[in-house]
């Protein structure tokens, strides 16, 4: 790495302070609450990655030659001056809104020029005046309005079901691939200062797209962009990437964030839905059992999870009730990101307890679908290297269905017997 020791020290100090958000008016107290909650969730789980991380992404989607050809033919980019011509200079900008349409125009051109047909299901939209409603455990009138977002159609996306307070009926956290905030350089500061707001978006995407494995987003100024990656182990970000002098990295990231390949977007394609008129009408979960290697697809009893953990980092538990047509019974599927450093995970204990009366019986298990470290920057590409032992492992357990939630006990004796 070529940066001086002082620069590295400065970056190390930046990588872990409390999250900061924009200045909030009283009516935006809801955002303040979100930021405070995410501060606690991400504290100690944020790392600053090198630009090498973003440079390494999405090369499998578009070749160097195609990117070069696109930039050479694109009327918006001048390779001689190394500038996106429609982006105003700092002295020409009075408000951040002066940047909305120029940035949107660039992203739209990239998607249409290099996406190999994804533009039929992916469109960049202005959302700075749109309320993207939040889904919470308790009733709240929370919403966010990122500057731009990529609206998507496909087996993991549906039109917003939450519609109130003037919110959009065509775009929400349930059908976006990624969010972008567009700000002036003088307001963006470093990448860490924008992390809190990006985490708010990421958390809602995890909640409203329950088959997400990771979420990525950008903050774009007239000079550079910041890149953000969120998963169940926390967050990583890359700051100050000059998209004028390094347009190829920006082009690839836009292609990656608008891909029509849902796995590239960070979606688990073993969980899929049937979409009719923009709505989920049915769905399925596919399991490949570790022990037998038998692949089974179960139909969802309900298109919504029966349980969702509403946190950003941590286990990220999502549970489904599914129908086992072969044995004509309901089954319970639990997806969770377990700490890879802890011994005796739940599925191994359930394996030991097979046939034991009074213990829920495991039907199938996938003990290591993937790990958070698979999606992240390598330790050598981080100024503050993430502790790879803190990686989380994605586990899917299929169990026989039990009774109601323990909170629905009818007597003290029933509660005590359930805990026996």
Q: Are residues 257 and 277 in the same domain?
A: no
Give the CATH number for residue 383. 3.30.200.20
Cβ within 8 Å of residue 168, ≥6 positions away: 127, 130, 131, 132, 160
Q: Are residues 288 and 394 in the same domain?
A: yes
pLDDT of residue 5: 34
Q: What is the pLDDT along the chain (420 residues), one digit of tens a residue?
A: 444 333 443 444 444 445 555 554 544 677 777 788 788 888 888 999 999 999 999 999 999 999 999 999 999 999 999 999 999 999 999 999 999 999 999 999 999 999 887 789 999 999 999 999 999 888 778 889 999 999 999 999 999 987 776 667 899 999 999 999 999 999 887 888 899 999 999 999 999 999 999 999 999 999 999 999 999 999 999 999 999 999 999 999 999 999 999 999 999 999 999 999 999 999 999 999 999 999 999 999 999 999 999 999 999 999 999 999 999 999 999 999 999 888 889 999 999 999 898 889 999 999 999 999 999 998 888 886 666 558 999 999 999 998 777 788 888 888 887 776
In terms of Cα–Cα distance, which of 115, 183, 181 is closest to 152? 115
Q: How many domains does the chain have?
A: 2
Q: Are residues 255 and 276 in the same domain?
A: no
In terms of Cα–Cα distance, which of 323, 275, 278 is closest to 302? 323
Angle between the N-to-C axes of helices 29-42 and 195-208, in degrees from 0 to 180, rounded to the nearest 10: 90
Q: Are residues 120 and 180 in the same domain?
A: yes
Please calculate the CA angle 220-19-182 and round it to the nearest 5 degrees.
15
Alpha helix positions (H), 289-371 = 346-352
In terms of Cα–Cα distance, which of 206, 244, 204 is closest to 30? 204
Q: Are residues 244 and 286 in the same domain?
A: no
Q: Are residues 69 and 133 in the same domain?
A: yes
Which of 241, 265, 289 marks a domain boundary? 265
Provide the domain limits for residue 288: 271-419
Q: Are residues 177 and 228 in the same domain?
A: yes
Q: Are residues 170 and 21 in the same domain?
A: yes
Q: Report the alpha-carbon distance of residue 107 to residue 151 in Å, rounded.
A: 13
pLDDT of residue 166: 64
Q: Are residues 20 and 62 in the same domain?
A: yes
Q: Which of the 8 DSSP states describes residue 49?
A: B
Pairing of strands 224-231, 234-242: antiparallel
Q: Report the alpha-carbon distance of residue 306 to residue 332 in Å, rounded.
A: 9
Q: Report the alpha-carbon distance of residue 126 to residue 168 in Å, rounded.
A: 12
What's the Cα-to-Cα distance from 179 to each of 12, 16, 146, 188, 356, rounded to whole Å? 27, 23, 6, 16, 48
**Full DSSP string of 178-215:** EEEEE--HHHH-SGGGGHHHHHHHHHHHHHHSTTBS-E
Cβ within 8 Å of residue 145, ≥6 positions away: 127, 128, 129, 130, 131, 132
Which of 234, 265, 296 marks a domain boundary? 265
Q: Are residues 222 and 277 in the same domain?
A: no
Which of 265, 280, 311 marks a domain boundary? 265
SS3 173: helix
Contact 129, 169 (CB under 8 A): no
Q: Are residues 189 and 276 in the same domain?
A: no
Q: Are residues 106 and 254 in the same domain?
A: yes
């Amino acid at each position: 790495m070529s940066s001086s020791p002082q620069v590295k020290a400065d970056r190390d100090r930046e990588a872990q302070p409390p999250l900061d958000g924009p200045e909030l008016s009283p009516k935006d107290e809801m955002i303040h609450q979100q930021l405070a909650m995410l501060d606690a969730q991400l504290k100690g789980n944020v790392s600053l990655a090198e630009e090498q991380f973003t440079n390494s992404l999405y090369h499998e989607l578009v070749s160097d030659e195609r990117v070069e050809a696109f930039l050479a033919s694109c009327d918006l980019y001048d390779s001689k001056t190394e500038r996106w011509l429609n982006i105003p200079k700092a002295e020409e900008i009075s408000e951040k809104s002066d940047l909305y349409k120029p940035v949107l125009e660039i992203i739209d051109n990239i998607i249409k020029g290099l996406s190999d047909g994804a533009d039929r299901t992916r469109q960049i939209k202005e959302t700075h005046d749109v309320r993207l409603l939040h889904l919470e455990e308790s009733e709240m009138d929370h919403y966010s309005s990122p500057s731009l977002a990529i609206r998507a159609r496909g087996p993991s996306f549906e039109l917003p079901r939450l519609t109130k307070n003037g919110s959009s009926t065509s775009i929400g956290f349930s059908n976006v691939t990624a969010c972008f905030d567009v700000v002036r350089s003088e307001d963006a500061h470093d990448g860490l200062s924008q992390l809190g707001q990006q985490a708010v978006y990421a958390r809602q995407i995890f909640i409203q797209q329950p088959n997400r494995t990771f979420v990525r987003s950008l903050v774009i100024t007239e000079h550079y962009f910041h890149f953000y990656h969120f998963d169940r182990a926390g967050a990583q970000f890359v700051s100050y990437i000059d998209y004028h002098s390094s347009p190829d990295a920006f082009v690839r990231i836009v292609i990656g964030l608008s891909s029509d390949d849902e796995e590239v977007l960070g979606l688990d394609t073993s969980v899929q839905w049937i979409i009719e008129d923009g709505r989920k009408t049915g769905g399925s979960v596919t399991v490949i059992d570790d022990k037998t290697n038998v692949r089974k697809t179960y139909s969802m009893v309900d298109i919504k999870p029966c349980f969702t953990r509403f946190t950003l980092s941590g286990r990220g538990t999502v549970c489904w009730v599914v129908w086992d047509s072969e044995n004509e019974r309901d089954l319970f599927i639990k997806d969770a990101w377990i700490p890879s450093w802890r011994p005796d995970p739940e599925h191994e204990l359930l394996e030991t307890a097979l046939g034991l009366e009074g213990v829920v019986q495991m039907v199938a298990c996938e003990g290591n679908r993937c790990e958070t470290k698979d999606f992240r920057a390598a330790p050598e590409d981080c100024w503050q290297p993430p502790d790879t032992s803190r990686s989380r492992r994605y586990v899917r357990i299929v169990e026989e269905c039990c009774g109601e939630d323990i909170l629905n006990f009818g007597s003290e004796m029933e509660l005590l017997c359930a805990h026996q």
